[in-house]
Amino acid sequence: MEVTPKTPADIKGGTLTRCGDKLRLLELAQVPEKYIDDFTSVRKFKYFNTNNLWINLSTMARLLEEDRISMELIVNPKTLKPTPVIQLEEAAGAAIHNFDNPRGLTVPRHRFLPVKFTSDLMLVMSNLYVLEKGRIVPSPKRNFPTLPLVKLGKHFGHIKNFKERLRTIPDMLELDHLTVSGDVHFGKDVKLKGTVIIIARENEQIDIPPGAVLENKIITGNLRVLPH
């Protein structure tokens, strides 16, 4: 199993643990409430599962023939607004405990590029990455080894709204942290640096004008840029 160093953006990712003489994959939904802080700590659990798996197919075939593949069922309570539901899951990586001599292989960050939320999509679409021989790789122009932490509010939750609110993806090469909450729109060719927090309160709207450079800024209130 390929694992990579955990950052604050990855605190929900599964991690490898040793139980007796077996390696097991531990997911957040399996952790008792009182140990959540330990699980999400980047110091206590320094690596997390990338979901890249290397499997000896001959061994896999033999285990299947012998009916020796057992998977742990994960019970994950969720809310499908407004109804509470229980989601039953099986993680592919959890099969690791069925194999003899399994290994966790630490790989560079660029081997792991998930897109689960629009905040992930914003990173991948930005100039933090470039296309090289058909692969998306980190841009050599960024001077920091880690990615910025991006948190987008519910107004950016669906891809349609995401595209409507971002005329173009901002320049993020020098960004450390971005939080956006509320009714916010970005104009073209915006540049973000350092820590940027933009919060539009209820019934207010913030328009970031085209070409704006925001460096270590907190923006709240109501800001509109109207055509003339």
Report the amino acid identity of residue 152. L
pLDDT at 112: 81
- Give SS3 for 171: strand
Mean pLDDT by 10 residues, the chain (228 residues): 88 90 92 93 91 95 95 89 92 94 90 88 96 89 90 95 96 98 96 96 92 94 65
Q: According to DSSP H, which parts of 55-196 are helical? A: 57-65, 118-125, 159-165
- Give SS3 for 83: strand
Domains (ranges, CATH) in the chain?
A: 2-109 (no CATH), 114-220 (2.160.10.10)
Separation between Cα atoms, residue 34 and residue 218, nearest integer Å: 34
Tokens 């197919």, residue located: 57
pLDDT at 63: 96
Burial 68-81 (b: 16+ CB within 10 A, else e): eeeeeebeeeeeee
Tokens 């409430």, residue located: 33
Separation between Cα atoms, residue 62 and residue 127, nearest integer Å: 46
pLDDT at 228: 45
**Active-site amino acid positions:** 116
pTM for this model (two decimals): 0.70
- Tell me how long the chain is: 228
